[in-house]
Structure 1
């Protein structure tokens, strides 16, 4: 309990805070000063799975799934089964509710009874999505729930996103964190697959420009393809290979083509992409130059 809270609570109990204005002041005690790295809030939770007390579910999951923990004891908290919270100011354990039954302090400016969730930082514009079954941030008016994808997306994508069934009900293909309830920003690639925005930025720093799930290019690669055109034109194949034909599958448009073999890369005849893979006609061609040409 932070300095000053005990005396103010004691005064309230003795009848010194009688006006509604002072009651409001009391409810705001500790606002913005209590909580953990994940949330500003004025309560702790008792985990229903292990009966231990933590600041929030993320604190529980990090502690119980740490490398120091016995792998047989590792687990995530069943978030919707939470039954008890502990007021951070007076220490009273109680059923889940927004205001403490003992000192009347508001334990979270944003409170969701369905998710048993508290947060004092309302600048996130939290809202509860019944179809997702969890609270999300960003403002309800700014998002829509796609029934096929099974998650909420920005309204900017409502008429343009490519649906992938249960698109966010899996781990990020780069860092392997579960995407559906992640606290990090998520982006939807043109192919419809979802990934952490920061993971995409890290891929771009390492000159990787294709979806790690389906291999489709997620940005404009036309300048890279032009450089490959020039390189291929400057490197003629030996005479014994000049008439060699191979079949390729394009990762970008999904079409198959029979093309002249070249050691540098193989160009799709349908969309002119070099993001292809050889399927028939001898040993696979080398596509490592695509990464270099994209730099």
Structure 2
């Protein structure tokens, strides 16, 4: 390739890649020896295979060979093509074997996560208990749940830790995709799918329920149970309380939440 060293380095920038990344190389998957634009392309390809025995995911750190998209030269994992001299990725991480020409994403490698993330290192911190990087807005401002990001989204079931989608941390500390969270809100589901705690302030809902209780006459079959008490567990504060039964709902005596469920009475020690 003719031209100065700088011209060769920048040749083809943002002109190659796939829907996931703009980059000037492809990878050879060591698990199946096939060539793909990136690991996500590999994983999507194997996920639609008819045989479940052929489905597998590529481990990013296992990649040993890359193919330059400009000159088609296969070579060990390096930043600059050993043949034509182009920069195969404006951002390059030797640990993750990761290339990306679109540096406006603010890519950075987190040693504690063990993977590259986007958004700018200066905008994130690593929570060691939760096991992931979070926005600085959550520093000392979130409830820690051990390894909360190393789980699947409770709505779409995609693995959260290395998902390309934005995530959100709920009041309870559990994590899910932001788009899944917003979709859940649209369907008037205001409890965490994992622990059942309320994820928003529901005081207005509790007031409506109280008004409904006051206006509701107990059905005939329940008339003899008006003064019957039941044991409830509050999903919001985890308190166990004995309260009067009502068909509309039971209020927690501790935090006044109606996000409760009836349970068997506690067994007292002999």
TM-score class normalised by the smaller sequence: over 0.9
TM-score between both structures, scaled by the size of structure 2: 0.94
Between the aligned partners of 1:78 and 1:188, the Cα distance in structure 2 is 26
Q: Which of 62, 69, 92 is the matching residue for 1:81? A: 62
Aligned length: 262
Residues 79-128 of structure 1 show CA distances to partners (whole Å, capped at 9, x for unaligned) of: 10110000001000011111111111111111000110000111110100
Where does structure 1 differ by over 3 angstroms across 4 or more consecutive aligned residues?
A: none
Question: Unaligned regions of 5+ residues in structure 1, if any?
Answer: 1-8, 282-295
Deviation at 1:23, TM superposition (A): 2.4
* Pick aligned residue for 2:7 from 25, 34, 39: 25
- Cα deviation, residue 280, structure 1: 3.2
Secondary structure of the equivalent of 1:141?
A: helix
**Counterpart for residue 163 of structure 1:** 144
C-alpha distance in 1 between matches for 2:46 and 2:121: 32
Which of 41, 50, 53 aligns to 1:69? It is: 50
Partners of 2:246 and 2:145 lie apart in 1 by 35
Match in the other structure for 1:188: 169
Partner Cα separation in structure 1 for residue 121 and residue 50 of structure 2: 38
Whether 1:274 aligns to 2:255 is no
For 2:240, which of 256, 270, 275 is the aligned residue? 256
**What secondary structure sits across from 2:52 in the alignment?**
coil
Q: Deviations over 1:12-55 (max 9, x none)?
A: 1xxxx2xxxx3212221221121001001010000011110000
In the alignment, structure 1 residue 121 sits paired with structure 2 residue 102: yes
Matched, 1:47 2:29: yes
For residues 16 and 249 of structure 2, the distance between their equivalents in structure 1, rounded to whole angstroms, comes to 57
Task: Determine the structure 2 residue equivalent to 1:288.
Answer: none
Deviation at 1:257? 1.2
Aligned Cα root-mean-square deviation (Å)? 1.1
Q: Which residue of 2 is the match for residue 235 of structure 1?
A: 216
